[in-house]
Amino acid sequence: MKVSVVGLGVEGKEAIKSLFSYGYEVYGTDLSQSVDMSDVKRYLKEKNKTDNKPKLTIELGTNNINKILSSDLILISPGLWKSKTANKLKKSNKLISDVLVKHKTIPTIAITGTNGKTTTTTMLKKILEKNGRKILVGGNAGGGFFGYTDLILKAEKNGYELMIVEVCDMTIEFSDYFFNFDMIGLTNIGDDHIDVHGSINQYKQSLLKLFKNKTVFLNSNEEFRDEVENVAKEVIYYDDIPDINLKTFGKFNQLNGGLASSISKYLNVDYNVIKESLQNFHEVEGRLKLINLNNSKVFIGKTDNVHATESILSEIKNVDIAFIGTSRTKETYRLDILDSIVKYNPKKIILFKGLSESFDLSLNRLKKLKYKGEIILSNSIKETLDLILKSDKDGSNDNIFIGGNGQEVITELQKLLKQKSSTNRAT
């Protein structure tokens, strides 16, 4: 069978890999002529060593509707979901979620919100698996999973009792069409992807449409709880879990655990199972971790919006040195991260290349904020690691914060620092 993948962003490329693994022929298309397909090519190279060699055709700079419609199945990238092209293709009755429908028969939980989705999803998975349930987990490729298509394909082949889908706030309408959500857990709402939503209020309106006639799990302090109660089938409120000692840092993770616990209780999981699962839970790779070096405490993890950054800094309180990854040039709202950092007046701010090769926007924002400390620019992971280790060597019980944008860079730094920390303990 041949599948057309329309839009080759993160989700589209992950979909191609998943489709290959199930033996589909793929036609991929994107209006951009400069799509980086290197990760797909690496995957193809490995697959070509096997007998089941995948077939792939890529066309860039065009969306040939006739070629797309000639396929057996069609996948539209979430970023194109509201486009004119997507509206035409939706009428074809060939969308992958309309043809492969077994996933829609599985009781399904969505975990959505601005921050904490991946951690909450993983916590819930651990609890339910310990309870003996056969769980299918995945979703948002940007969160570290293999994308939404992967869930649909896996559901066709295996008998799962329950499905958990991490839903990125940018893909709410797309996901609502693809899946039949029975329960929805909201972690929090913050200032992220405002370029997509337009405003916080519009983001809330998207959520309210998603919540309609569903069982919704909501933080008891959520400001728009009355509006949610007006549209949801039922609302179940959760708080943090003060009686469970998590190995992860932060009150925000206590709330993530509270959400996972609340959903598990609703599914009749014994509280002893919930408690033991959460007590043994370790942070997800790339998310915030506290690493103790010789002279410093290093708080490192993905904090790509001001809401996530502030929730961490407010608990650290004294930030001596901050390493911040650059944001994409078009996502200027992410520069608010620097506003939050400067409020804590670190003696040094080191900018490293996260999602942009240019430091100009960050430097201009720091100048506008009249930051008086030392500013250092780092051009590589090695250089950034050396600066972290030098800060640790020179410091005296310093608190070092490493965050901002650039998940891949931050994850690699986290791995290297964990190795250094383990070596120090061993010696």
Task: Give domain limits for the chain.
Answer: 2-99, 102-279, 289-426
Dihedral angle over CA of 278, 281, 284, 287, nearest 10: 70
Q: What is the pLDDT of residues 151-191, one digit of tens each?
A: 999 999 888 999 999 999 999 999 999 999 999 999 999 87
Q: H helices of 106-171, where?
A: 117-130, 148-157
Window from 161-170, 187-196, 213-222, 310-319 with minimum mean pLDDT: 187-196
| Whole-number Å distance between alpha carbons of 113 and 206 | 11
Q: Is the dihedral of CA 32, 93, 205, 125 positive or negative?
A: negative
Contact 186, 216 (CB under 8 A): yes
The mean pLDDT of 352-366, rounded to a whole number, is 97
Q: Which residue has the higher pLDDT, 353 or 38?
A: 353
Residue 3 contacts residue 74 (beta carbons within 8 Å): yes
Question: Virtual CA dihedral for 377, 382, 386, 387, nearest 10 degrees?
Answer: 20
Residue 396 has pLDDT above 80, yes or no: no
Class of domain 289-426: alpha beta
Q: Residue 427: what pLDDT?
A: 38
pLDDT digits (tens, 9 = 90+) for 218-274: 999 999 999 999 999 999 999 999 899 999 999 999 999 999 999 999 999 999 999
Contacts 24+ apart (CB under 8 A), 371-374: 371/342, 373/345, 373/346, 373/347, 373/348, 373/349, 374/347, 374/348, 374/349
pLDDT per residue over 106-139, tens digit each?
999 999 999 999 999 999 999 999 999 999 999 9
Give me the mean pLDDT over the 321-330 stretch.
95
* CA 108 to centroid of chain Cα atoms: 19
pLDDT at 73 over 70: yes
Short-list 170, 169, 172, CA closest to 188: 169
Q: What tokens does 263 get? A: 């959903």
pLDDT at 60: 94
Name the architecture of domain 102-279.
Answer: 3-Layer(aba) Sandwich (3.40)
Strand, helix or coil for residue 427: coil
Identify the CATH number of the domain defined by range 2-99.
Answer: 3.40.50.720
pLDDT for the residue numbered 148: 96
